[in-house]
Amino acid sequence: MQILKAYSETLKTYFEQILVTKDPVTLYEPISYIMSLGAKRIRPLMLLHTHKIFGGDVKSVLPLAAAVEVFHNFTLMHDDIMDNASMRRGHATVHEKYDVNTAILSGDLMLIQSYGLISKCSDSPAYTDIMTTFNEMSVQLCEGQQLDVDFESRDNVEIDEYIHMITYKTSVLIAAAMKMAAQYTGASQEDQEHIYQFGKNIGIAFQMQDDILDSFGEKAAVGKRIGGDILEGKKTYLYIKALELSDDSQKAKLISLMNDPHIEDQRKIDDVLNIFKATHVRVYADQLKEAYRDLAFSHLAELKINESDRVELKEFGQYLLDRTV
């Protein structure tokens, strides 16, 4: 999408201005490293586009967009430590390239930097509301992360629990980014709520696509090992639905595979994927993903915006779900 390319260039220039490596280099270099790994920058792009749709000047909200992206990458840096992940966007994770302590401290600094960037918008009449939205999102994201960790030791996670977890862990940041942009422009409470619900539901669908790609994507395109969620014991929709659809033999094998730390990695991935394929869980995952997309679009239809802007947002949402990376 052409408009996204324009936003991307604007963001790139802004990041080049604010992300300066200084002493101690060992603290700041990992931040520059993770921020340079070819991220899609979906959240700040959606924030900038929302701001434009509601009549705002994109340049005035760049610090807020940057805050969202820095915060997002801080969460990824710490998430990779918790998951013991070795790759991020086709490159070594920060704790692998440097070390765990460095990744923790550099991540902490990124959190502080994100709040510093938001403070650059303190002259906005909506600043208090923006900070409330950001803080509420931050708490929910931590809760979602903890639920994800808790699920790893459980066999009986329900689908509605999974949806709640990914809502907090992933989609609320997208939703909050769009709502903060609307708040900054002084959009109505109704439009703020509809843009939030659009972002939340498209974010759920986005995470489901991510889970699908983790099991059924191509490593070269996805930028990480296929089956990573399986090795980490993640209770994704695919796993939960496969348990539901499996016969007794498949169910016992699936639980055993996910809980046995002694099985060779590739064999575990292959055996679990064979059960996923036998139970046709991808079909169900695609259907649920599309249901959340449609729910997002229903909120989009309620926004009091120009029709051309509505079409652009809809295309953007569909673009996120059609991705193969």
Q: 259-269, pLDDT tens digit by residue?
A: 898 999 999 99
Percent of residues, the chain, with pLDDT higher than 90: 80
**pLDDT tens-place string over residues 209-257:** 999 999 998 764 555 578 989 998 899 999 999 999 999 999 999 999 9
pLDDT band for position 87 (50/70/90)? confident
pLDDT attached to residue 64? 97
Question: Buried b / exposed e across 35-48, counting CB within 10 Å, b at 16+?
Answer: bebebebbbbbbbb
Q: Is the pLDDT of residue 168 over 70?
A: yes
What tokens were used for 46?
């959606």
Handedness of CA 300, 71, 144, 128 (dihedral sign): negative
Condensed to tens digits (0 to 9), the pLDDT of residues 89-115 reads 889 999 999 999 999 999 999 999 999
**Token pair 């939703």 in the structure block, residue:** 175
Using DSSP's 3-state secondary structure scheme, residue 207 falls into helix
User: How far apart are alpha carbons 78 and 83 in whole angstroms?
Assistant: 9
Taking all residues of the chain, what is their mean pLDDT, rounded to a whole number? 93
Query: pLDDT tens digits for 56-74?
Result: 999 999 999 999 999 999 9
Task: Return the CATH class of domain 2-322.
Answer: mainly alpha
Average pLDDT over residues 296-317: 94
Closest alpha carbon to 106 in 137, 66, 75: 75
List the end-to-end C-alpha distance of the chain, in Å, as a whole number.
16
Higher-confidence residue: 38 or 71? Answer: 71
Burial of 153 (0-12, 13-18, 19+ CB in 10 A): exposed
Backbone angles phi, psi at 120, to 5 degrees: -70, -15
Length of the chain: 325
Q: What's the pLDDT score for residue 223?
A: 52
Q: What is the pLDDT of residues 268-289, one digit of tens each?
A: 999 999 999 999 999 999 999 9
